[in-house]
Amino acid sequence: MSDDVLSAIPTAPHWQPEQAPERAASIVEELAPGLPNGIDVEIDITWHDALTVVDCGQNLQKIGCPQCGASIDTDWWADQLEAHYDDGFATLAVVVPCCGAATSLDALVYDWSCGFARFEIAVWNPERAWFSDEELTAIADALGHPVMQIRAHI
Ligand SMILES: [Zn+2]
């Protein structure tokens, strides 16, 4: 049994909404109404105490270096995540193995996209495709911050 999860997270990793984001949640609810047979999709809204990786699971095809464009070993990336897991990503700064550039984990070029967040709206098995630009704008307006989307297969 596998799941698809469509998430909206703030584009700034540390940003959290100050107010209860019910409006954003209800917009997402409208955008993912579930199946015609009336089964609602499950929508989780999470405030993470520490910065958390929001990855795309099995949808991750490759990771690129933002500096030189080389492809970055996903095992190296997994090691970085593991190393930072205990400190809650006190820093996202990394030195990439390809060209030695100092960059940031959230600046790597993920295909499919991955992000880091302290706030997340996750739609489980959304029964729909990606959010459109207009839909992302609607969620961002309701939340008060631009958002990006992650689509995970887990
Ligand atoms: Zn590089």
Average pLDDT over residues 93-111: 96
| Cα 29 to averaged position of ligand 1 atoms, centre (Å) | 40
* Residue 93 token pair: 């700064």
| Cα 114 to averaged position of ligand 1 atoms, centre (Å) | 18
| Cα 36 to averaged position of ligand 1 atoms, centre (Å) | 47
Residues whose CB is under 5 A from ligand 1 (ion)? Answer: 65, 67-68, 70, 96, 98-99
Region of 89 please: left (phi>0), alpha (psi -120 to 50) or beta.
left
- What is the separation of C-alpha 62 from the centre of its chain, rounded to a whole number of angstroms? 16
Nearest to 107 by CA among 118, 98, 116, 99: 116
| Cα 37 to averaged position of ligand 1 atoms, centre (Å) | 49
**3-class SS string, 88-149:** CCCCCEEECCCCCCEEEHHHCEEECCCEEEEEEEEEECCCCCCCCHHHHHHHHHHHCCCEEE
| Cα 132 to averaged position of ligand 1 atoms, centre (Å) | 31
- State the pLDDT confidence band at 16, using cuts at 50, 70 and 90: very high
Helices and strands of the chain, counted as H and E runs = 3, 9
Query: What's the pLDDT at 93?
Result: 94
pLDDT 10s digits, 20-32: 678 888 888 888 8
| Cα 102 to averaged position of ligand 1 atoms, centre (Å) | 9
SS3 37: coil
| Cα 96 to averaged position of ligand 1 atoms, centre (Å) | 6
- How high is the mean pLDDT of the chain? 92
